[in-house]
Amino acid sequence: MFPVMPFEFLSDEQVARYGRFLGEPSVAELEEFFRLDRQALVRVAARRRAETRLGWAVQWGTVRMLGVFLTEDPTAVPVGVVEFVAGPTMDGSSRPCTCCSTSPTPATGA
């Protein structure tokens, strides 16, 4: 069993927002949190089924962005996130960076 996060110091609004998406992430947020680096692509490729690969990649980015797994409803993910992750997750390719004019090399250890 995971320990429960203390929330007495949070406002009701903060508690309601914790661990949830508040709409579609921006392109910059998608690039920062959901772009799969080489190490993540290797981990995704180790999954057998396409839906498992997609789910793993979405949760990986969700933890990076929100700091927690979506445990209550793992399908509560904006459509833009799924569409962004689906391409490189399904075909194993790396998506070029769209937030700037250059394509940086993938980070390691993320």
pLDDT in tens, 51-102: 889 988 999 999 999 988 888 888 889 999 999 998 766 654 545 444 433 3
43 neighbors 37 (Cβ within 8 angstroms): no
Of the candidates 73, 46, 66, the one whose C-alpha atom is nearest the C-alpha of residue 56 is 46
Please check whether residue 11 lies inside any domain of the structure: no
Residue 86: strand, helix, or coil: helix
Residue 69's domain comprises 21-91
85 neighbors 55 (Cβ within 8 angstroms): no
Please check whether residue 10 lies inside any domain of the structure: no
Task: Read off the pTM.
Answer: 0.68
14 neighbors 6 (Cβ within 8 angstroms): no
Rounded to 10 degrees, the C-alpha dihedral 21/107/55/78 comes to: 30
Please check whether residue 102 lies inside any domain of the structure: no
> In the structure encoding, which two tokens stand for residue 96, read together?
């070029």
Please check whether residue 106 lies inside any domain of the structure: no
Please check whether residue 45 lies inside any domain of the structure: yes
Please check whether residue 51 lies inside any domain of the structure: yes
How many folded domains does the chain comprise? 1
Please check whether residue 1 lies inside any domain of the structure: no
